[in-house]
Structure 1
Amino acid sequence: MLTALPLALIAVITVVDIVSPPQIHLGPLLIVAPALTASFAGARATAGVALLALAGLTVIGLARDGLTTANHETQLGAQIVVSVLIVALRVLRDRHERELARVRSVSEAAQRVLLRPLPDRIGPLHLASVYLAAEAEAQVGGDLYAAARTTTGTRLLVGDVRGKGLSSLGDAALLLGAFRAAAHLHADLPALAAYLDGSVCWDLAQLGEQARRNRLTTGDGPEEEAAPDDAGESFITAVLLDIPDDDSVVRLIDCGHPPPLLLRPDGITTLAARHPAPPLGLGELAPARYEVEVVPFRPGDRLLIYTDGVIEARDARRRFYPLEERVAAWQSDRPAVLLHRLRRDLLAHVGGHLDDDAAMVVVERLPADG
């Protein structure tokens, strides 16, 4: 359909120019055809339309003053130069689009490896998740989630690395790898939390040491040496959940993370921890005592775990996203449908672009025969 438009323009301009009075010259307008083609088609199609436009200009010259007049030779020369420029720009754009496609494919592959999709069903639980990266071309950033089966149930991790986008990928990868390796090895949740905190602290210490070595190697001055290491300011808020198969409860440890919402037919409860722990990565500054919160989690109950990119999203009037209010309107929907509604509503609230990464996970305990 679009391809027919420049062809029609060439035909119309050629015919109208031929039948117009001698003092009217519409031939130069033929350059519009390849310019228009370059906006939606590739370099080959653009070059083909440019050749047809030159053919149209040649037909006009033959029908009117002849090909050897100064006026027509000037028009042909100008058309050739502009056509070459248009095709060259289209070639550069095609190359850029191919590079962008390769970057996107690498990003998607990284997402599949780093942030593996949660299974729809794990043990007696039904899971659904959604991830929204703040950076336009990124598929994954500093928010994270993972699930792991143990001999007695399912463990879940939802976290948020300080910072956003691609710069926080390293810390997210570290925590996800540590969780997947250790989730089934530690008998209780506090031991797992302590292990994860130790892993993050060790990695951040290594990054800080490497940064100091780099400054010494490059010979930076006192101002650079006095600057705080970004690695030393890093931490990860997280919530750890342990949901046993044979007991209708959920055990959780909140490490400085926004509290999950417990969705039941009779209402919504915010699971604010009575004894929250500091974010992961700050254990060396303030050794944590990990207190486990135990909450009834019966068949049909749902948990909504989210990152602060959701509740801190602002609209044009700087109002925060009213997550609990929105969830109350849709909590009877299936988990995947609920998250689809929340995702669409959240993006509408912020005008289509988030300032921070956002992730949401819904966990539903299925009936025994489900």
Structure 2
Amino acid sequence: MPSVDARRRDPKALWRGPQAMVGLAVAILALLLIADAFGGSRVRLGGLMLAMPALAAVFAGPRAVLVICGAMLPAYVTSLAENHRLNWMDAPIAISTAVVICVAAVGAAAVREKRARQLAQSRRVTVQTQQTLLRPLPSRLGPVELSSMYLAADAESTLGGDLYACAIVDGRPRVIVGDVQGKGLSTLEVVLFTLSAFRLAAWEGVALHDLPAFLDDAVRRELVLAGDMALQRGDFTQEPEMGLRMRESFVTAIVVEVGGEGGESDEVRLVNCGHPAPFLLHDGAARELPSSKPALPIGLLGLGTDAVHVDSHRMEPGDTLLLYTDGLAEARDGAGEFYPLAERVAQRAHHPPATLLDAIRTDLRRHARLDDDVAMVTVHRSAVRPAGSTKTL
């Protein structure tokens, strides 16, 4: 709630908050009372006063509603007297009705306020959980600059199945962007397993071409262990769900690794596991980098027999890679048309990395509604490589 000093500085703040609601209600009650008093026998507006507590309960807290009820009851009794209804036949029923409405309005406002607090607490927990799972990417990682953005399709939640992370492996920056199949809290488990395996692979120095198999084995192993723990707890309702997730869960992902030893060459290597192709922004133009031989998603690698293929491209200083999840390309407008991602990225290829994601978000919100979460990461090749780097992040 704005402070008194803030409200003095901002005149519009005077029209917000419970004080404004109470003042507006009292003003309306006064107008109804005046109209009822001077409108003659044909104008009887006192009954409209009973609507004030109910309307206030929708917008104000229980204390404000109680104050409005305290102002409404005397005004309503005065209206009854003006209309010659303050007698033993009409007054008990009318006043009892007003009191019941007031009690119900205060109770409804209290319940609504309690649920609003619970929702706010749930949102805070959700944000903290997301920040724990999706650690903020550093602005710089060796020779590259990073930016990230997460857009939730559900306005009531900021947590979904999209993921991203980064690490340094043998002096080379490595970035992963992925999307867990499915929705709901069960996807968070797979997100956690995938990110943990990615960071462990960086610590152990797993080569890029071996990384998908490493992630696949780690995620499957964790799901099996989670199912075994459910059985040991005697939670037989959870074990079938674990078995179902072990059979159906998969993660589309793309992993990029910039540079040679120490990240000093102009090479960027990519492994694509069923994920949308990234865009390379070079000299104000955008070019899609489809995989020449994409691998199966993580979790489904066991269904294939081919070795994982690593694509190599030239990434010069000043170039930017845009990585994203399929929620961006699959967003639709009111007519059902897909968001023209390639066209819009090409139009914004001249944007610096710091503003590129903001520009895409603004355009996306203007064009379409989100049916799926969106994660976006830019990897910008710096012209000058800073001294020093770390093993993992």
* TM-score, scaled to structure 2: 0.84
SS at match of 1:184: helix
Long gaps (5+) in structure 1: none
**Could you list the per-position Cα deviations for residues 233-283 of structure 1 after superposition, in whole angstroms to 9, with x for gaps in the alignment?**
111111111113211211111111111111111522211112222111123
Question: Which residue of structure 1 lines up, in the alignment, with residue 365 of structure 2?
Answer: 347
Counterpart Cα distance in 2 of 1:110 and 1:53: 45
Q: 1:165: how far off? A: 4.2
SS at match of 1:303: strand
Counterpart Cα distance in 1 of 2:187 and 2:54: 42
- What CA RMSD, in Å, does the superposition of the two structures yield over aligned residues? 2.7
Q: 1:93: how far off? A: 0.6
Q: 1:123: how far off? A: 1.9
Question: Which residue of structure 2 lines up, in the alignment, with residue 107 of structure 1?
Answer: 126
| 1:231 and 2:246 are equivalent in the alignment | yes
Counterpart Cα distance in 2 of 1:52 and 1:256: 65
Question: Which residue of structure 2 lines up, in the alignment, with residue 290 of structure 1?
Answer: 308
Counterpart Cα distance in 1 of 2:230 and 2:80: 70
SS at match of 1:257: coil
Counterpart Cα distance in 1 of 2:80 and 2:341: 68
| Residue 216 to residue 285, structure 1, CA distance change in 2 (3 Å) | farther
CA contact (8 A) 2:268 2:314 kept: yes
| 1:269 and 2:287 are equivalent in the alignment | yes
* More displaced stretch, 278-287 vs 40-49: 278-287
| Residue 25 to residue 301, structure 1, CA distance change in 2 (3 Å) | same
Counterpart Cα distance in 1 of 2:50 and 2:353: 54
Question: Which residue of structure 2 lines up, in the alignment, with residue 200 of structure 1?
Answer: 219
Q: 1:209: how far off? A: 6.3
Identity %: 39
Counterpart Cα distance in 1 of 2:334 and 2:170: 48
Question: Which residue of structure 2 lines up, in the alignment, with residue 154 of structure 1?
Answer: 173
| Residue 287 to residue 73, structure 1, CA distance change in 2 (3 Å) | same
Which residue type is aligned with residue 234 of structure 1? S
Which residue type is aligned with residue 318 of structure 2? G
Question: Which residue of structure 2 lines up, in the alignment, with residue 168 of structure 1?
Answer: 187
Question: Which residue of structure 2 lines up, in the alignment, with residue 313 of structure 1?
Answer: 331
| 1:39 and 2:58 are equivalent in the alignment | yes
**Could you list the per-position Cα deviations for residues 279-308 of structure 1 after superposition, in whole angstroms to 9, with x for gaps in the alignment?**
111233324512222211111101011111
Counterpart Cα distance in 2 of 1:232 and 1:102: 34
Question: Which residue of structure 1 lines up, in the alignment, with residue 348 of structure 2?
Answer: 330
| Residue 348 to residue 212, structure 1, CA distance change in 2 (3 Å) | farther
| Residue 60 to residue 132, structure 1, CA distance change in 2 (3 Å) | same
* More displaced stretch, 335-344 vs 46-55: 335-344
Question: Which residue of structure 2 lines up, in the alignment, with residue 359 of structure 1?
Answer: 375
Question: Which residue of structure 1 lines up, in the alignment, with residue 267 of structure 2?
Answer: 249
**Could you list the per-position Cα deviations for residues 317-369 of structure 1 after superposition, in whole angstroms to 9, with x for gaps in the alignment?**
3222211100111111122322112112223333x3x2222211111111117
| 1:179 and 2:195 are equivalent in the alignment | no
CA contact (8 A) 2:143 2:385 kept: no
Question: Which residue of structure 1 lines up, in the alignment, with residue 3 of structure 2?
Answer: none
Q: Matches of residues 34-73 of structure 1 in structure 2 within 5 Å?
A: 34-61=53-80, 65=84, 67-73=86-92
Q: 1:78: how far off? A: 1.2
Long gaps (5+) in structure 2: 1-14, 387-393
Counterpart Cα distance in 2 of 1:361 and 1:336: 11
Counterpart Cα distance in 1 of 2:170 and 2:364: 37
Q: 1:65: how far off? A: 3.9
Counterpart Cα distance in 1 of 2:84 and 2:274: 82
* TM-score, scaled to structure 1: 0.89
Which of 294, 314, 318 aligns to 1:300? It is 318
CA contact (8 A) 2:53 2:101 kept: no
Which residue type is aligned with residue 256 of structure 2? L
Counterpart Cα distance in 1 of 2:354 and 2:77: 61
Counterpart Cα distance in 1 of 2:177 and 2:277: 11
| Residue 120 to residue 26, structure 1, CA distance change in 2 (3 Å) | same
Counterpart Cα distance in 2 of 1:35 and 1:297: 63
Counterpart Cα distance in 1 of 2:358 and 2:112: 34
Counterpart Cα distance in 1 of 2:39 and 2:281: 75
Q: 1:149: how far off? A: 2.4
In the comparison of the two structures, how many residue pairs are matched? Answer: 362
| Residue 230 to residue 211, structure 1, CA distance change in 2 (3 Å) | farther
Which residue type is aligned with residue 155 of structure 1? R
